[in-house]
């Protein structure tokens, strides 16, 4: 059991800085839930777009990449709490981050426990990146919390990029999206999948399209509200009447800065900066 590091003692009397981190735009689905509960906080959102998508990186490469980016972000922005709004990174990197930095970290991992608790058909699917599907951590969540459900792991190669395209204003490629989610829909005799875990933070961005193209209705589980509650447990509730500090987004590549800045502004982030950190 690791010990959770507590934020600094004066945290209830000032606006905390919350760093939300992902490979791209997916972490915005977590960011918006945290903003709902802590509108007074100062938010720094980092999209490591130079390394997107994380799902294709080897485990060693991903660990060293996230540690390198985090080293710089923490030194520059001095967050009170870091939210890794990425399943692909969280299912691998959390112990390394906690060992390296004396800060509270909140991860995002597949919501297998609540999904299996609420499934009536006992057929649950986990829609993730190939990286998350391959993790020992994901397998151990199923072993520990699967409650005897049959859990189908679906590692989508293209969905995160399809979500990024939609966010940048391209029309949703519905046939491609339908093909990516199709393996989630399992029928066994008179039972069929009734619950699908959205185990990549990019996927809630497409959930309305998923509903439209799904072969049958299921419950889609998005862990973002639970992550936001965890942040409040660590940092305390919003301070009444406190004014929100302006939020900032950071890109490690920035080639698509114009399109991304428009997306960030739709999530209440008015400034988009580039801090180049090429992927080696
Ligand atoms: N948003 C990330 C996640 O939750 C993954 C997307 C990627 O492959 O970079 O897993």
In the annotation, is 81 catalytic?
Answer: no
Distance from Cα 133 to the centre of ligand 1, integer Å:
12
Pairing of strands 17-22, 81-84: parallel
Dump pLDDT digits (tens) for 26-40: 999 999 999 999 999
| pLDDT > 90 in the chain, percent | 91
41 DSSP assignment: S
Dump pLDDT digits (tens) for 100-141: 999 999 999 999 999 999 999 999 999 999 999 999 999 999
Distance from Cα 160 to the centre of ligand 1, integer Å:
6
pLDDT surpassing 60 at residue 2? no
The per-residue pLDDT for 1 is: 41
Residues 6+ away with beta carbon under 8 Å from 265: none
The per-residue pLDDT for 245 is: 83
Across the chain, the runs of DSSP E, i.e. the strands, are 17-22, 42-47, 81-84, 105-106, 123-128, 150-155, 187-188, 191-192, 195-198, 219-221, 248-251, 271-274
Cα–Cα distance measured from residue 183 to residue 49, given in angstroms and rounded to the nearest whole number:
28
Could you say which of 46, 81, 86, 149 is catalytic?
Answer: 86
The per-residue pLDDT for 3 is: 55
Please confirm whether the linkage preceding 87 is cis (ω < 30° from 0): no
pLDDT surpassing 70 at residue 4? no
pLDDT surpassing 60 at residue 53? yes
Q: Nearest-5° angle of CA 184, CA 185, CA 187?
A: 135
Which residues define the annotated binding site for substrate? 22-23, 54-55, 87-88, 201-202
- Whether ligand 1 lies within 6 angstroms of the CB of 223 is answered as no
Looking up tokens 């973002």 gives 224
Cα–Cα distance measured from residue 55 to residue 87, given in angstroms and rounded to the nearest whole number:
10
| pLDDT > 70 in the chain, percent | 99
Dump pLDDT digits (tens) for 60-77: 999 999 999 999 999 999
- Whether ligand 1 lies within 6 angstroms of the CB of 90 is answered as no
- Whether ligand 1 lies within 6 angstroms of the CB of 204 is answered as no
The per-residue pLDDT for 43 is: 98
* Bridge partners (DSSP) listed for residue 168: none
Residue 259 Cα to chain centre, angstroms: 20
How large is the average pLDDT for residues 199-210? 98
Distance from Cα 54 to the centre of ligand 1, integer Å:
6
- Whether ligand 1 lies within 6 angstroms of the CB of 48 is answered as no
Cα–Cα distance measured from residue 130 to residue 173, given in angstroms and rounded to the nearest whole number:
20
Ligand 1 site-directed mutation target among 20, 24, 111, most atoms within 8 Å of CB: 24
Distance from Cα 75 to the centre of ligand 1, integer Å:
24
Closest ligand 1 atom number to CA of residue 131? 8
How large is the average pLDDT for residues 224-233? 98
| Average pLDDT of the residues of the chain | 95
Catalogue all structural domains in the chain, each as residue range(s) with its CATH number. Answer: 16-108+225-274 (3.40.50.1860), 112-222 (3.40.50.1860)
In the annotation, is 116 catalytic?
Answer: no
Cα–Cα distance measured from residue 20 to residue 81, given in angstroms and rounded to the nearest whole number:
9
For residue 82, what are its two tokens?
Answer: 């870091």
- Global pTM? 0.96
- Whether ligand 1 lies within 6 angstroms of the CB of 193 is answered as no
3 DSSP assignment: P
2, 36, 40, 45, 153 from 206: Cα distances, Å:
35, 20, 28, 20, 19
**Widest distance between CA atoms in the chain:** 58
């Amino acid at each position: 059991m690791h010990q959770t590091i507590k934020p600094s003692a004066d945290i209830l009397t000032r606006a905390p800085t919350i760093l939300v981190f992902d490979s791209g735009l997916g972490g915005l689905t977590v960011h918006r839930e945290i903003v709902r509960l802590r509108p007074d906080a100062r938010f720094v959102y980092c999209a490591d777009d130079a390394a997107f998508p994380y799902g294709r990186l080897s485990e060693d490469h991903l660990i060293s990449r996230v540690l390198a980016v985090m080293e710089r972000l923490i030194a520059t922005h001095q967050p009170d709490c870091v939210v890794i709004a990425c399943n692909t990174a969280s299912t691998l990197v959390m112990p390394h981050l906690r060992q390296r930095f004396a800060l509270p970290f909140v991860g995002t991992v597949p919501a297998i426990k609540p999904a299996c608790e609420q499934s009536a058909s006992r057929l649950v699917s986990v829609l993730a990146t190939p990286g998350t599907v391959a993790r020992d951590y994901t397998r151990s969540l199923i072993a520990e919390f699967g409650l005897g459900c049959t859990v189908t792991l679906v590692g989508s190669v293209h969905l995160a990029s399809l979500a990024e395209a939609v966010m940048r204003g391209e029309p949703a490629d519905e046939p491609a999206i339908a093909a990516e989610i199709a393996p989630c829909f399992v029928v066994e005799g008179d039972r069929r999948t009734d619950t699908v875990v959205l185990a990549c933070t990019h996927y809630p961005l497409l959930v309305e399209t998923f509903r439209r193209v799904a072969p049958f209705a299921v419950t889609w589980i998005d862990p973002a509200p639970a992550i936001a509650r965890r942040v409040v447990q660590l940092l305390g509730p919003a301070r009444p009447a406190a004014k929100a500090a302006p939020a900032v987004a950071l890109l490690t590549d920035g080639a698509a800065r114009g399109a991304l800045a428009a997306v960030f502004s739709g999530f209440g982030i008015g400034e988009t900066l580039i801090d180049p950190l090429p992927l080696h």
